A and B are shown apart, each in its own frame.
Chain A
Amino acid sequence: MQLKLALPKGNLLSPTSAFLQRTGLELSCYDGQSRSYRPRCDKLPELFLKVFHEKDVPIQVAVGNYDLGICGRDWVEELLAKYPSSALVKVLDLNYGKTALYVACSKSDSSRSIDYWQTKPGTIRIATEYPSLAESFALSLRLRRFSIFPLWGAAEAYPPENADLALISLPTGNPFNQTLSPVSMVLSSSALLIAHRTSWDSRDLSPLLRCLHSASDAKEITIGNIEGQKEGVDESLPSPLRPDSAVRLGLPDGHLQGPALEFLGRAGITIQNNPPDPRRPGTNIEGISTKMVRPQDMPLQVANGNFDLAVTGEDWLLNHLCRFPSSPVKQILRLGFGKVRVVAVVSKQLPVDSPQDLRELLRKGHLSRLRVASEYTDIADKYARDNHLSPYRLIPTWGASEVFLPEDADLLIENVQTGRTLAEHNLKVIDTLFESSSCLIGSTHTPHDSYKLERMNSFIHTLQQAIDKS
């Protein structure tokens, strides 16, 4: 009888690897150096293991693709806050990878009381990677009106200019950065062993559980509630607010960061490190303030007016426009670096070479329902609709999407640069949706401030010249 265990990558990978070493399960290919997504267990050959982005683990266990999973409790509670009836059993607190989720505000607001946020007129903007927990927090605190901006990351960079509050995760014991101050502790988190409800109720998981229990210095599971206590407030620092007339420029972190800075350099724009506040680097151009966040989050931030201009990928712009067709975000310049193709991918085991073949497979009943996994949820949704691939179910992923095929998804909408990763995972491209490059985006709404408009046009002109030269 095969048992399936979902394991986390990212921050929890190393401590989970160490924990599993202690169980005596003798795992191979699951450590910081390994690039494999399918570790093997020599001691329990019937154990099937797969490595996911941590955020995907509770989803995979809840839908029943895996009997057991290990991930941070924060992601479990995030899923349960949105889908309280998810088929998840919280089995064991593994007592490592400890973090705490805080609602934080800018240092400039650190003297504000809970009452202030409860009674503040207007909309309270909350930026977070945990939108469902943020909504629970807002409801439990009885905020009268709030907006939640779901992010791919870097929530700590948003207050005070682009959000009033941020719900962020901090490793236990780590201090807050210099710009933020805690308002309320929402949740304590550590690695958690979870099970699919049906597997827990009907299957004998004991061979694996025995090993996992033996290695853990586990504690009783306690139900996590949204706690409303105010944490200690640090000393106030001056607000890092920029003047309103400055052009607010969003720069990408992650893979696009290097090429973006290099491109700006060629245009004569230098981005200067700002060690006390690395997410807000300086520039050699007057009248521009910069912030470094995830490229995935740029279109939404331009749409809601947080940034005037931003560098992102055309893929993320299109994904945003698929979801919000009347969004005011538009592409201003194609910058040309970071080129990828967005493609439809299936396993080589699947006898299809085109979306039409896939449709035929569904029509003949060889596939009862198409499982479509993608980071580009809205592009994937449109693609499945436009190609009449019904019935289908979308599986949102948070990275390492190629690992989903063939066991946990049938079709993947993914970006490729060279195609090497696809080949490594025995996958094939059946369709190319479009080619994507980095781009400069802005809003269709023109700023009223003539100084700002002039600075924006000058900046765009400078980038255009750099493109023309290359």
Chain B
Amino acid sequence: METQRCKGSRDLLPGDMARFRHVEKVFRSCCLGWGYQEVRTPTLEYLHLFTSTGTLTPNMLSRVYSFLDWDGWSGERVVLRPDGTIPAARLYVENFPQAQPAKLFYIENVFSYEETGRESRERWQCGAEVVGSARPLADVELIMLALETLGQLGIKEVKVHLSHAGVIRAVLKELGLSPAQQSELFQRVLDGDTEAMSRMVSASPHLRNAMSLLFEGKGRSAGHLQNLKITLERALLSPHLEASMNDFIAIAQCLTELGCEYQVDIVSGRSFEYYTGIIFRFYSKGERLGGGGRYNDLIPLLGGGDIPASGFALPLDRLINLITDWQDKAPRVLIQSDVSITGIHKLCFETAGALRRAGYVAELDQGHAKTSDYRWVLAIKGESAKPAFLLTDKAGGKSLRADSAAEILKALQTADATKASSP
């Protein structure tokens, strides 16, 4: 059959959705536990929200889905949001009293055009933002929150890579480049163009050594950053660089104290232009699992005053492919009956209701259920005035007869309690 699905789109089947909801539940639970509040922004936003200098790079903008709205005679375009952070920042500016700190999280889809259609054009993100704090501890909190989520999802061998937009910007500023050249090179670095960085290094012979140490080093400690700072300060005298390095070192130091391992990797690619400070990314077995960073200029750019902020996003649709040792553990009971018996339907619905209220998944057999898919099968027989219940444990092959739904419920709970207490 010819596919009807739009190129680059994906269906989420029942198994996918169960894992999707599980990731969502774990992320929500973690965020709520850390005091974050959930928000949701519209799918449609004005294009200009993303064209403001310092938000998305032209490379990213060239891939947004933009079009004229119904009232598009004004010539202004709307987009399917290509990113979660910028709309969240807009939401903050529009809805929160000035300078009120906020910890927000969201689960949203984002859209970007992908030519081949082999990659998804619609992706889902779990994102969290801390607005109103400039302290390194806010960045550390976000990293720890993301790691807690990944840990609770059972994702193994998560690696943290750290970079720092403030350090990169400070270095570019000191290289004698024009603002436009600095901006272009910064975009290239963030788009993952490592060659651009190499060219920059080779074009500045007196800085070659310091630059090589900065861009090629893969240190794993705050000490490494201290060493870099000393070396860079010998080559570049910049107050911006010093402040950024101090911020970088403070975050690294704190992560070390918390037992969080990381790798310093200045050019680790694919990031957002709006970052101004720490940039962190998560990897597991070579696969990138999102990341985030500090974006102190974004809210001022959107007219929200001088409010610092940082955040991260995890790719929900990638995470659902990685969680393997999870399954839906809700106990499932299949209820069967002889449809020819008068009044049996009422009894079946009532019994199913009682089981559901007790936390079971109670499914009425509509004639096509496979009993092998269920742990428990409950057959209801007899007249409505004198019903007979037969509960079969498909796992153990045992059966139990009872006269009421209450007895069945008690038997199920006893079996679960026994299972839970068994070694």
Contacts and interface: CB of A to CB of B under 8 A. Distances in A.
Contact of A125 (B70, B75, B77): B75
B76 A144 contact: no
A41 B121 CA distance: 45
B226 interface: no
A139 B61 contact: yes
A431 B116 CA distance: 41
Interface in B65-81: 66, 70-77
A139 B62 contact: yes
B58 A123 contact: no
A123 to B, nearest CB: 7
B71 A324 contact: yes
Contacts of A118: 53
B51 interface: yes
A197 B70 CA distance: 35
Given A123-B76, A136-B62, A145 B52 contact: yes
Contacts of B74: 147, 304
Interface residues on A, range: 20 to 34
B287 interface: no
Contacts of B52: 144-145
B51 A327 contact: no
Interface residues on B, range: 10 to 19
A51 to B, nearest CB: 31
A379 interface: no
B11 interface: no
Given A147-B75, A304-B75, A324 B115 contact: no
Interface in B48-94: 48, 51-53, 58, 61-62, 66, 70-77
A84 B59 CA distance: 13
A303 B70 contact: no
A149 B75 contact: yes
A462 interface: no
Contact of A138 (B51, B70, B115): B51
Interface in A102-153: 118, 123, 125-126, 135-136, 138-140, 142-149
Contact of A326 (B51, B70, B75): B70
Interface string A225-257: 000000000000000000000000000000000
* Interface core residue of B52, B66, B73 (most chain A CB under 10 Å): B73
A207 interface: no
A303 B51 contact: no
A142 B58 contact: yes
Contact of B115 (A84, A142, A327): A84
A125 B71 CA distance: 16
A395 interface: no
A304 B73 contact: yes
Contacts of A123: 48, 76
A118 B51 CA distance: 11
Given A125-B75, A147-B76, A326-B71, A85 B115 contact: yes
Contacts of B72: 324
B51 A143 contact: yes
Given A324-B71, A325-B70, A139 B76 contact: no
Contacts of A135: 66, 77
Interface string B309-348: 0000000000000000000000000000000000000000
A139 B47 CA distance: 11
Contacts of B62: 84, 136, 139
B71 A144 contact: no
Contacts of A138: 51
Closest 3 CB pairs of A and B: A147-B75, A303-B73, A145-B48
Interface of B: 48, 51-53, 58, 61-62, 66, 70-77, 115
24 contacts: A123-B48, A123-B76, A125-B75, A126-B75, A135-B66, A135-B77, A139-B58, A139-B61, A139-B62, A140-B58, A142-B51, A142-B53, A144-B53, A145-B48, A146-B48, A147-B75, A147-B76, A149-B75, A304-B73, A304-B75, A324-B70, A324-B71, A325-B70, A327-B71
Given A135-B66, A144-B52, A324-B71, 8 more contacts: A84-B62, A142-B51, A142-B58, A147-B76, A304-B73, A324-B72, A325-B70, A326-B71
